[in-house]
Amino acid sequence: MSVVEGAVFAGYQIERRLGAGGMGTVFLVQHPRLPRKDALKVLAEIHAEDPEFRARFLREAEIAARLQHPNLVAVRDRGEQDGRLWIAMQYVDGVDVAQLIKTNALPIERAVRIFVEAARGLDEIHQAGLLHRDVKPANILVAQQPDGSDRVLVTDFGIARAADDSTTLASGGTTATLAYAPPEQISGDPMDHRGDVYALGCTLYHMLTGSVPYPRDSPGAVMYAHLNEPPPRPSLENSSVPTAFDAVIAKAMAKQPDGRFSSCGAFAAAARAALDGGALTGSGPDAARTKRRDRLLAAGLLVVVVVASAISTVLWIGGDPPASTSPPSTTAGPPDVNTAEWGAYAYIAQAFPELLPPSPLATGYKDVGGCIPLDEQGRTASFDVPAAVGELFCIGDGDPARTMAVTCNANRSPIFPDRFFARVEGDERWVRSSGTGHVNWGSDIEIDGKIRGQLDVYFDDPSRNFCTVQVHGTGSGTELHDRWWPDAPL
C-alpha cells in the first residue's frame, strides 16, 4: 500500500513526512489509541524482499525497545504491514545536528556537550549487544529543554544489528553514510562497537569544523581516504579548536579498531579533557594544578586530565626553576623515533623509545598514543616550541591506564620523588637491567565516589633522572602497579 500523508498505516494516522533516507521514510504520526505523536519509520520496499533482513530487523527492534536511556530515542513498537517493515519511535520536537552545522561549525563547548551526551547513548546501545552502524550528525537529535539547555538523543535504530553479526545489512553495499563510515565497514571486514567510535570521531570532527573529515569529489575518493589517508586535524580546519583535539580525533579515527578508544565513553572523556586543558589559564604550576583540579572535580572528569597538571608541580621540588629553555640535541637517538614529528620534544621520546610511540599519532606500550605537549599551566603547546619543562601527555586504552604523562627538565636537572595522591598504597625502590629508581602509587577518591589510581616512576641514572613518568587509571593505584608496572619498558 502507499504510505502518504492522511493515510492510516499500521493503525497510525500519517500527518506529515519528517525525512527520508536510503533505509526508508520517517513520518510524524498520531498514535491510534493514546493522545501522543510518534515518529514512524517505514523501511524501503526493497528490504521486504529479503527474509533474513526482515527477521533481523524485527529481532533487533525488539531488543532496542527494551532500552531506556535519556540519550536514546525510545523504540515503542515494530511490525510489518503489507510486506512493509515499520518501527514506531519517540517523536522529538527538535532538530538534528546535521541541521545545526549546515552552514557553520558549532561553538566548541556546545559541540563537546552534545557529543558527550551522544556518546552515553551509544555506550548504552553497545552494552545491550547492538551496533548502531550509521552514526552521523543527522542521527543525533537536539531539543531545547525548559531551562534552555540541549537535550540530546541518538536515533535511528532501524539498521542496528547484533554485535556478533559481521554481515552487511544492506544488500549491495554498506548501510552507513559514506562520509562517516569506518574502514572495516567499507572493506567488508568484521565490525564491532569500535566502528561506531570511528563514526563518532568523524561526527565530532564535523561538529568542530563544519566540514566532513574527507571532503572529496567522488565516493571512490572518500572510500580511499577512509582506508588510507591519515585522520585530519580539526585545529587546522578551525583555528579556534584547541590543538589537543587533533590527538583525540586521530585516536578515534585510527584505521585499525585496536588503535581506537575502547568505548564511546572513553572517547568522550578524552574530548572533555582536550576542551578543559586547552581552555585553562593561570600563573605557575601550583595555580594551574589547583585550577584544573577544581574545574574537573566539578565536572567529574579528574580521571583523564589531572595527570596533565599535577605532574608539573613535581618539577620544581629540587630547587630553583631551570634556567635554560633549550632542549637537548635531537640529532641522535633510536632509529625508530621520528624526531621530526616530535620536534622540540624528541629528546623525551628518545629517552623512552619503547614506552612512548615512535611518533605522536602512533601507539606505544599498551596502546598509549595520541600524545600532545602541554605547557606548565597544562595548556596545549606546540611541538615546535622548546620549553624549560617538557611534558608529553598521552591517552591510554583504559586497561588499566587511562592517561600517561612523561615530563622532563630540558636542562637535565634531576626530578626527585614526591607524591600527589590522597591515599598512599605503595612506595618502593626498583631495580631492573635498564637501571634503578623509585616508584610509588596510590589513589584519589573523587566526588563521584570512584577511585582514581596513580603511579609515579622516578629514575636514578643521569640519562633519565631529569624525567618522571606518571600514569592514571580507572581503578586503584595498586591495580596500576600490578597490571601496568611489571612489564613497562623502562
Whether residue 424 lies inside any domain: the answer is yes
Confidence band for 282, pLDDT divided at 50, 70 and 90: very low
Q: In terms of domains, do 253 and 328 share one?
A: no
pLDDT at 346 over 90: yes
Of the candidate ranges 19-23, 202-206, 224-228, 296-300, the one whose mean pLDDT is the lowest: 296-300
List the domain range (segments joined by +) for residue 31.
Answer: 8-90
Q: In terms of domains, do 335 and 445 share one?
A: yes
pLDDT at 20 over 80: no
Mean pLDDT, residues 362-381? 81
Q: In terms of domains, do 215 and 80 share one?
A: no
Q: In terms of domains, do 454 and 342 share one?
A: yes
Final residue before a domain boundary, out of 42, 65, 90: 90
The DSSP secondary structure of 110-133, one letter per residue, reads: HHHHHHHHHHHHHHHHHHTTEE--
Of the candidates 253, 87, 74, the residue with the CA atom closest to the CA atom of residue 159: 87
Whether residue 3 lies inside any domain: the answer is no
Q: How far apart are CA 24 and CA 472, in angstroms?
A: 46
Whether residue 275 lies inside any domain: the answer is no
Q: In terms of domains, do 71 and 113 share one?
A: no
Confidence band for 445, pLDDT divided at 50, 70 and 90: low
**pLDDT score recorded for residue 334:** 46
Whether residue 81 lies inside any domain: the answer is yes
A 10 A CB-CB count for 473 gives 27
Q: How far apart are CA 490 and CA 487, in angstroms?
A: 8
pTM above 0.75, yes or no: no
Could you tell me the CATH number of the domain that includes residue 180?
1.10.510.10
pLDDT at 23 over 60: yes
C-alpha cell at 484: 601496568
Pair 157, 39: CB distance under 8 Å: no
Number of domains in the chain: 3
Reported as half-sphere exposure (CB side, CA atoms, 13 A), residue 17 has a value of 9
The vertex-301 CA angle with 373 and 246, nearest 5°, equals 35
Q: In terms of domains, do 109 and 35 share one?
A: no
Q: In a 10 Å sphere around its CB, with 0-12 CB exposed, 13-18 middle and 19+ buried, how is residue 33 labelled?
A: exposed
Q: In terms of domains, do 106 and 62 share one?
A: no
The predicted-structure confidence for 128-165, as pLDDT tens digits, reads as follows 888 888 899 999 999 988 788 889 999 875 444 445 44
**pLDDT score recorded for residue 120:** 94
Of the candidate ranges 40-44, 298-302, 357-361, the one whose mean pLDDT is the lowest: 298-302
Contacts of 167 (CB under 8 A, 6+ apart): none
Strand 37-43, strand 75-81: pairing: unpaired
Q: Residue type for 230, please?
A: P
Confidence band for 451, pLDDT divided at 50, 70 and 90: low
Final residue before a domain boundary, out of 270, 302, 337: 270
C-alpha cell at 97: 545536528
Element (H, E) at 58: helix 51-65
The percent of residues above 70 in pLDDT, for the chain, comes to: 79
Q: What is the distance between the terminal CA atoms of the chain, rounded to a whole angstrom?
A: 69
Among 38, 96, 123, 134, the active-site one is: 134
SS3 category, 35: coil
Has 134 been annotated as catalytic? yes
The predicted-structure confidence for 156-196, as pLDDT tens digits, reads as follows 754 444 454 433 334 333 345 889 999 999 988 889 999 99
Q: In terms of domains, do 107 and 81 share one?
A: no
Q: In terms of domains, do 316 and 402 share one?
A: yes
Pair 413, 327: CB distance under 8 Å: no
**pLDDT score recorded for residue 87:** 86
Q: In terms of domains, do 320 and 414 share one?
A: yes
Cell numbers 574537573 correspond to: 296
Final residue before a domain boundary, out of 44, 74, 90: 90
Q: In terms of domains, do 234 and 206 share one?
A: yes
| Residues listed for the chain | 490
| Strand intervals (E) in 269-374 | 369-374
